[in-house]
């Protein structure tokens, strides 16, 4: 029998922070702080993860696919709702959470590229009030990027999205999947090919998909093998190289700092300044003066 609840005016669910206009592909991340209320969600093309950020447990009623779940959501608890599954929630105290929506077609592509499996043969499972330190860690990193206005760059977001997608496929599908893990890093020829590409395109928006496509492997496996070879994740290496080029241009040319920022792939003077200080401990202006 289908579960029903007494009607109550719905809460207007507007996020405090959103990645809507930050250019993140395949994933939407939003932070919510809501007064007591209720709401309905139904995403036809996105899978949804909710991560509780509330400092105090929140009693929550959830109804998904006609089944009701009730319990206290504490900080770090997650719920997972597959695409096309209607979702109703009611909470009696102020709620604070992070919502991650990941595109269905992206998960399908990751399943095919990384696992060689058609996602149509798999079922993504609903979860209520689960604990998953891996998802909590990824959610925390994504929230940090929201707060810092995407300072880590698109390559970083793409890496996190791929890791999250693979984790969902491994842990929350039926039947359970086994993922082959490749070790040993990239062959020297392939590594040099990738490093040369990065060096030649520092002023452009380098995507994880572009780097993986150079070698004809999945984005997930590329990220793992690259880190094994270089000792840094792709986004960390890219940032380091951009700052190194900025250091060279600051000392060897009289170009303006804003011009140098764009030549090195940063989207603004302040973006260069923040990343430069983070890696060198000083500002571009101070570095040029010494």
Mean pLDDT by 10 residues, the chain (290 residues): 45 81 91 92 92 92 88 93 92 94 92 76 85 95 86 84 92 74 82 94 91 92 91 91 94 92 89 89 90
Query: Cα–Cα distance between 268 and 36 in angstroms, integer?
Result: 40
Number of domains making up the chain: 3
The answer to whether 168 and 47 are in contact (CB under 8 A) is yes
How buried is 67 (Cβ within 10 angstroms: 0-12 exposed, 13-18 middle, 19+ buried)?
exposed
CATH code where residue 259 lies: 1.10.10.60
Same domain, 149 and 68: yes
pTM, full prediction: 0.82
DSSP string across 120-159: GG-EEPPEEEEE-HHHHHHHHHHHHHHHTTSTT-HHHHHH
Res 6: pLDDT? 45
Model pLDDT, residue 205: 87
- Look at residue 113 in the predicted model and tell me its pLDDT: 84
Task: Report the distance separating Cα 223 and Cα 234, nearest Å.
Answer: 6
Q: Burial, 17: exposed, middle or buried (Cβ in 10 Å; 0-12, 13-18, 19+)?
A: middle
Are residues 27 and 87 both part of a single domain? yes
43 belongs to a structural domain: yes
Domain membership flag for residue 37: yes
CATH of the domain at 125: 2.60.120.10
Task: Please tell me whether residues 209 and 276 are part of one structural domain.
Answer: no
| Whole-number pLDDT of residue 148 | 82
Residue 118 lies in a domain: yes
Say whether both 156 and 215 belong to one domain: no
Residues 204 and 254 in one domain: no
Same-domain pairing of 164 and 22:
yes
The predicted pLDDT at position 73 comes to 92
Q: Is residue 179 part of a domain?
A: no
Chain position carrying tokens 């951009």? 242
* 29 lies in some domain: yes
Is residue 8 situated within a structural domain? no
Q: What is the predicted pLDDT for the residue at 9?
A: 45
- Residue 156 forms part of a structural domain: yes
Statement to judge: residues 30 and 133 lie in one domain: yes
Domain boundaries, position 261: 239-289
State the pLDDT at residue 181. Answer: 62
150 and 253 both lie in a single domain: no
Task: Establish if 112 belongs to a structural domain.
Answer: yes
Residues 39 and 167 in one domain: yes
Same domain, 37 and 165: yes
Same domain? 138 vs 92:
yes
Give the pLDDT score at 290: 81
Do residues 153 and 245 both lie within one domain?
A: no
């Amino acid at each position: 029998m289908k579960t029903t609840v007494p009607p109550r005016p719905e809460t207007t669910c507007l996020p405090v922070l959103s990645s809507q206009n930050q250019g993140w592909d395949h994933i939407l991340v939003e932070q919510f702080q809501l007064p007591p209320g209720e709401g309905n969600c139904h995403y036809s093309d996105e899978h949804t993860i909710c991560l509780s950020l509330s400092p105090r447990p929140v009693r929550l009623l959830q109804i998904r696919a006609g089944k009701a779940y009730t319990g206290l959501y504490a900080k770090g608890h997650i719920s997972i709702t597959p695409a096309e599954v209607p979702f109703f929630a009611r909470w009696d105290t102020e709620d604070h959470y992070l919502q991650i929506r990941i595109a269905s077609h992206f998960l399908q592509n990751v399943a095919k590229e990384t696992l060689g499996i058609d996602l149509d043969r798999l079922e993504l499972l609903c979860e209520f009030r689960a604990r998953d330190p891996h998802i909590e860690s990824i959610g925390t990193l994504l929230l940090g990027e929201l707060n810092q206005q995407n300072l880590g760059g698109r390559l970083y977001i793409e890496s996190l999205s791929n890791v999250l997608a693979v984790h969902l496929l491994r842990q929350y599908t039926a039947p359970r999947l086994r993922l082959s893990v490749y070790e040993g890093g990239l062959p020297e020829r392939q590594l040099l090919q990738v490093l040369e590409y990065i060096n030649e395109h520092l002023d452009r928006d380098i995507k994880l998909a572009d780097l993986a496509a150079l070698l004809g492997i999945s984005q997930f496996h590329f990220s793992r093998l690259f880190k094994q070879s270089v000792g840094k994740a792709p986004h960390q290496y890219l940032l380091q190289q951009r700052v190194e080029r900025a250091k060279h241009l600051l000392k060897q040319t009289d170009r303006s700092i804003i011009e140098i920022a764009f030549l090195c792939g940063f989207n603004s003077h302040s973006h260069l300044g923040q990343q430069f200080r983070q890696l060198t401990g000083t500002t571009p202006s101070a570095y040029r003066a010494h």
